[in-house]
Amino acid sequence: MATIVIHRKKLETITPTRRRVLGIIELVVAALTVVLFMLHVQPGQVSTFVMTPGGITQGIAANWIVPVFGTMLALTILSALLGIYQLVRGFGRQTNLVLGVVAFFFIFSFLLWASAGKSLNLAGMLSASVLLAVPIVLGAFSGVLCERAGVVNIAIEGMMLMAAMIGALVGSVTKSMWVGLLAAIASSLLLALIHAVLSIKYKINQIISGTVINIFSTGLTSFLSAKFLQTYQYLNNPPVFPRVPIPLLADIPVIGPLLFNTNIFVYLMYIILVIVQVALFRTRWGLRMRSVGEHPKAADTLGINVFRTRYMAVLLGGLVAGIGGAFFTLGSVGRFDEGMTAGKGFIGLAAMIFGNWTPIGSFLAGLLFGFSDAIATRLTLLGTGIPIQFMAMAPYITTMVVLAGLVGRSMAPAADGEPYNKE
């Protein structure tokens, strides 16, 4: 019989077929750990993990020295046991959690193999993961805000790209990172307004509207960058937000340097997470917005202004996307390059789907994508022998795996993408 799991007041069926498939996958992962990693290390080798990011003087922690072969053996045995139990009986509600644990074991075994006899700054890689996750998570939050109200917004990529360029340009001219940030948000809000008018007022297909905005942003930013920003370098040299350590919290070993000694965009990500989670699920406003995304006709009958609610949601999504776009130039590299968002807006939408249209789920999914990006960047420096092109594919492969439904089916709002016609 299928196991019925109650999750967020919705029924999710874990069929016997899916249970067996996941059990086989977990056993295959255990076998791959042996073939790919264990057979290529020596029993006496150790890995040295540096637990303090480079350049940090607060929250310093001792290095972590791990025996490679013995640790891999233990992780492989645990993965195999979990796979066998999943295959025979299943974990019910904890199925995805167990799958995540097995994936973690495999990734950690990979890190052990890559750093065997070497040193790897693990804390630095995790810190980079958080930073790389910022635009993905903010893009996911933007999607959550829009789609919870029933408006599909694939224009997040274009909004972020435009915000990145405008933030760099205005920040360079005014020599103020704050003015640059405000300008970036304003440019994204303008594009969000265009998307809202096209998709809500004129009821243009929301995918087409978003695609048009993406094409427009790509073309305009490429033209302005080639014509002005690359020619006149003083227009492409904005100030960058520095690290801001939080007193006391930044001194906590390992955790402090990762979460509490970073720039303002990471803190804004935390703040937006709390605000959106509470607003959506603990306030009357959030209930009304979700009702518009689930059943707009019923919401209209109860006196909720569907059009105004959707406009507000899309504009709020544009605001969050603008912050995510500004991160690229004002919170990271300090200059604008053509196409520098590199699909992070689309990966943010994948994180939103992975997170089942919830802020917390989207945040955790964004961290996963950020980690896959960071691990690809860092391990190319260790000389693992894996071509850099394959390592660069890691975040996109992760995206495809997630969207393929390996972790289960996500439930979109019922009226997502459907224009509303008021009778």
Report, as an integer, the average pLDDT of 165-192.
Answer: 97
pLDDT on residue 9:
44
Is residue 252 within 8 A of residue 60, CB to CB? The reply is: no
Q: Which of the residue ranges 46-60, 137-151, 289-303 would you say has the lowest mean pLDDT?
A: 46-60
Per-residue pLDDT band for 334 (boundaries 50, 70, 90) equals very high
Angle of CA points 110, 50, 79, to nearest 5°: 30
Per-residue pLDDT band for 54 (boundaries 50, 70, 90) equals confident
Of all residues in the chain, the percent with pLDDT exceeding 90 is 71
Output the pTM of the full model. 0.90
Name the nearest CA neighbour of 188 among 161, 154, 151.
161
Q: Which of the residue ranges 18-27, 198-207, 229-238, 306-315 would you say has the lowest mean pLDDT?
A: 18-27
Residue 260 reports pLDDT greater than 60: yes
Just give the CATH number of 123-403: 1.10.3470.10
Give the tens place of pLDDT for each residue, 262-281. 999 999 999 999 999 999 99
pLDDT on residue 184:
98
Average pLDDT, rounded, for the chain: 90
Report, as an integer, the average pLDDT of 102-125.
Answer: 91
CA atoms of 413 and 410, how far apart (whole Å): 10
Domain residue limits, the chain: 3-120, 123-403
Q: Which of the residue ranges 71-85, 103-117, 152-166 would you say has the lowest mean pLDDT?
A: 103-117
Highest-confidence segment of 53-67, 187-201, 368-382:
187-201
Backbone angles phi, psi at 383, to 5 degrees: 65, 50
CA atoms of 200 and 420, how far apart (whole Å): 8
